């Protein structure tokens, strides 16, 4: 009986530690989320951004295996290559782009002529600037964000192909099979995942342990 009591006390202690860790992690995530949500209103009057930037030649596909593989396929087709979701899946026998780091690694592997860099937890204004610079260089920009699949929110990869700040428009090639044109505010609400209504606890846990990140884009240099 004494041993059982000791074991129970140990279990209660471990559960309490886990709960404290999760509560602390959630508090830190909320603090980090507020930190990235700086006021970006100045971009509308900044002399740097009056000219719209747009990358031609991106063909939207409808994903068959995964959004990460579909974005790689779209980028490959734009670059004159022949990588497809199927060739990637056949190469690995599974999907290996489930988080930003692995997606970035695969982009660098599949496109050695480019250097892909992941940028996490960017302030809104910094994200807009990096996005504009990359598009101005003529290269589309992969992004992690929240997207609707029918009526259901999902964690998703897409390819940004245009930014017209003067007209408050971001153009995105979404591998759910269509082009989206949305406002900067809506775009940032989705890159920060604030738009994701009723996010399941296991996704929230993924953010707390660093499996997923907010305001994350992938700049690409040649």
Instruction: Report whether pLDDT(156) > 70.
Output: yes
Ramachandran angles phi, psi of 147, nearest 5°:
-140, 150
Which is more confident, 142 or 34? Answer: 142
User: 76 or 34, which is more confident?
Assistant: 76
HEC assignment per residue over 59-87: CCCECCCCHHHHHHHHHHHHCCCCCCHHH
Task: For 20-149, list the strands marked E by DSSP.
Answer: 53-54, 115-119, 141-149
CATH for 39-221 (3.40.50.720, 3.40.50.620, 3.40.50.1000, 3.90.70.30) = 3.90.70.30
Q: Is 11's pLDDT higher than 90?
A: no
* Under 8 Å between Cβ of 192 and 37: yes
Q: Residue 177 has which token pair?
A: 């099979």
Q: What per-residue confidence (pLDDT) applies to 109? A: 98
- Write the Ramachandran bin of 123: left for phi over 0, alpha for psi from -120 to 50, otherwise beta: beta
- At residue 59 the predicted structure's pLDDT band, cuts being 50, 70 and 90, is very high
Closest CA to 144 of 119, 170, 181, 177: 119
The pLDDT, as a whole number, for residue 167 is 96
Residue spans per domain, the chain: 1-36, 39-221
Angstrom CA distances, 2 to 9, 15, 91, 143, stand at: 11, 20, 56, 56
Q: What is the pLDDT of residues 113-150, one digit of tens each?
A: 999 999 999 999 999 999 999 999 999 999 999 999 99
What is the spatial distance between Cα 117 and Cα 220, in angstroms, rounded to a whole number?
A: 6
| Tokens matching residue 123 | 């302030």
Question: Is pLDDT at 69 greater than 80 in this prediction?
Answer: yes
Q: Which two tokens stand for residue 150?
A: 């029918």
C-alpha to C-alpha distance for 108 and 158, rounded to whole angstroms: 17
Distance CA 196, CA 27 (A): 18
Of 47, 163, 164, 155, give the one whose Cα is nearest residue 98: 155
- What does the pLDDT average to over 50-71? 97
pLDDT at 197: 84
pLDDT per residue as tens digits for the range 179-201: 999 999 999 999 999 999 888 98
Listed in sequence order, the residues at least 6 apart from 194 whose beta carbon sits closer than 8 Å to its beta carbon are 33
What confidence category does residue 20 fall into, taking pLDDT thresholds of 50, 70 and 90? low
Q: Over 70: is that where the pLDDT of 35 sits? A: yes
């Amino acid at each position: 009986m004494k041993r059982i009591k000791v074991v129970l006390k140990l279990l209660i202690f471990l559960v309490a530690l886990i709960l404290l860790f999760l509560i602390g992690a959630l508090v830190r995530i909320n603090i980090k989320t507020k930190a990235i949500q700086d006021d970006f209103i100045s971009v509308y009057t900044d002399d740097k951004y009056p000219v719209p930037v747009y990358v031609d030649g991106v063909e939207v596909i409808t994903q068959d295996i995964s959004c990460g593989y579909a974005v790689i396929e779209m980028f490959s087709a734009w670059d004159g290559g022949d990588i497809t979701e199927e060739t990637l899946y056949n190469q690995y026998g599974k999907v290996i782009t489930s988080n930003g780091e692995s997606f970035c690694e695969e982009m660098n592997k599949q496109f050695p002529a480019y250097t892909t860099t992941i940028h996490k937890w960017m302030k809104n204004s910094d994200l807009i600037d990096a996005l504009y610079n990359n598009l101005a260089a003529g290269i589309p920009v992969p992004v992690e964000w929240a997207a609707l699949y029918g009526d259901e929110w999902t964690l998703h990869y897409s390819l940004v192909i245009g930014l017209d700040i003067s007209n408050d428009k971001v153009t995105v090639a979404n591998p759910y099979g269509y082009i989206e044109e949305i406002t900067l505010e809506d775009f940032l609400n989705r890159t920060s995942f604030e738009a994701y209504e009723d996010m399941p606890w296991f996704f929230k846990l993924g953010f707390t342990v660093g499996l997923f990140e907010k305001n994350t884009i992938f700049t690409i240099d040649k």
